[in-house]
């Protein structure tokens, strides 16, 4: 959350002439409601099931096509999704210090279901501690601070 997945994903996809998909946008379109509303109405456990369903549907649709999918920050942490992602594509963890995430997200708490009614630094620290074992399974880890497409391309030799 706030690491720059969508921004960098769009830029990288444009540079490589790949299609870009934001999983959150795909879910909101299909479910005809915001993720924040879905979370409020059904809870996180139900959201994660729906999220996984839409991810699998998107991956199947994109089979054998060049595309970049930006997943939500919690996507890899539920329902063995990190294993699924690693099996079906190249995974990148954008590592950004908590203090930088606080700066980036400080005005967006109302748009992020897991941040509502929480101390931003505290909840981001807890989320990171819970999610890091999954993030650490990504095939590549890159610093998300001032990361450019050129940086990504130079570090990920699989992408041509």
Q: What is the CATH number of the domain that holds 37?
A: 3.40.50.300
* 154 falls within a domain: no
> Could you list the residue range(s) of the whole structural domain that residue 92 is in?
5-142
* 157 falls within a domain: no
pLDDT, tens digit, 9 for 90 and up, residues 77-99: 999 999 999 999 999 999 999 98
> Which of 111, 116, 115 minimizes the C-alpha distance to 36?
111
* 153 falls within a domain: no
Q: What's the pLDDT at 82?
A: 98
Report CA torsion sign: 93, 95, 98, 103. negative
* 67 falls within a domain: yes
| Relative orientation angle of helices 98-105 and 120-135, to the nearest 10 degrees | 120
Question: pTM of the predicted model, to two decimals?
Answer: 0.85
Two structure tokens written together for 143: 């610093």
Residue recorded with tokens 């998300």? 144
Could you give the number of structural domains in the chain?
Answer: 1
* 159 falls within a domain: no
Instruction: Kindly state the average pLDDT of the residues 139-158.
Output: 76
- Taking the C-alpha atoms of residue 16 and residue 160, their distance in angstroms, rounded to an integer, is 8
Report CA torsion sign: 53, 90, 126, 103. negative
């Amino acid at each position: 959350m706030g690491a720059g997945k969508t921004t960098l994903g769009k830029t990288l996809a444009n540079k490589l002439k790949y299609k870009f998909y934001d999983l959150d946008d795909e879910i909101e379109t299909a479910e005809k409601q915001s993720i924040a509303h879905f979370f409020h109405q059904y809870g996180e456990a139900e959201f994660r099931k729906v999220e996984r369903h839409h991810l699998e549907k998107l991956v199947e649709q994109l089979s054998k096509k060049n595309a970049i999918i930006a997943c939500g920050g919690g996507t890899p942490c539920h329902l063995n999704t990190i294993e699924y992602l690693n099996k079906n594509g190249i995974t990148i963890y954008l590592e950004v210090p908590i203090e930088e995430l606080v700066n980036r997200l400080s005005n967006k708490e109302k748009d992020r279901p897991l941040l509502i009614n929480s101390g931003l630094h505290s909840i981001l620290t807890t989320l990171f501690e819970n999610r890091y074992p999954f993030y650490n399974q990504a095939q590549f880890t890159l610093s998300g601070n001032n990361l450019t497409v050129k940086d990504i391309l130079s570090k990920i030799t699989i992408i041509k």
